[in-house]
Amino acid sequence: MYITTHLLCRDTIKFLKVKWLTIFVIALFSSSITIMIDNIFVSNSNILTFFYESKMNQYYSLFDFVKALTPYQQKRLLLFSIMKLFSSLIGSTVLIGILTIFIKTIAFKK
């Protein structure tokens, strides 16, 4: 049996109409995990207040802004960036993993 574009589109829309609530709950769960990891790792956001208080319009690029920072502030910025990257990576991995398991269980249920 050939899979046509029309058949694939129809099946996808039907799947989303039936399972939209479950997919929404899964997305909500993974985003709450990301937020919790953010709050655990980056509980003190002094680096963000520095960025908001600084005058960004006097710098031509982000490179110039980072060069103007002190070494301590550069280390804090690097640590903050790594933690944000790590938390979003964990949240995305959880979302993809749960959705993959969900689709596999629905597909092999028949």
Residue 57 lies inside a defined structural domain of this protein: yes
Q: Is residue 2 one of the residues assigned to a domain? A: no
Q: Return the pLDDT at 2.
A: 79
Q: Would the pLDDT of 1 be above 70?
A: no
Q: Could you tell me if residue 62 is inside a domain?
A: yes
Q: Is 14 a domain residue?
A: no
State the residue for tokens 């903050």.
Answer: 80
Read off the pTM: 0.71
pLDDT at residue 21 greater than cutoff 90: yes
Could you tell me the end-to-end alpha-carbon distance of the chain, in angstroms, rounded to an integer? Answer: 18
pLDDT at residue number 98: 94
* Residue 11 domain-assigned (yes or no): no
Residue 15 makes CB contacts below 8 A (sequence gap 6+) with: 106
* pLDDT at residue 59, rounded to an integer: 73
Report which of 94, 82, 93, 92 is spatially closest to residue 41, judged by C-alpha positions: 82
pLDDT computed for residue 68 by the predictor: 81
The more confident residue out of 2 and 36 is 36
Residues 77-109 pLDDT 10s: 888 889 889 999 999 999 999 999 998 998 887
How many domains, in total, are found in the chain? 1
* Domain limits for position 97: 19-107
- Tell me if 12 is assigned to some domain: no
Instruction: Encode pLDDT of 48-82 as tens digits.
Output: 676 666 666 677 777 888 888 889 888 888 888 89
| Structure letter (DSSP) for residue 44 | -
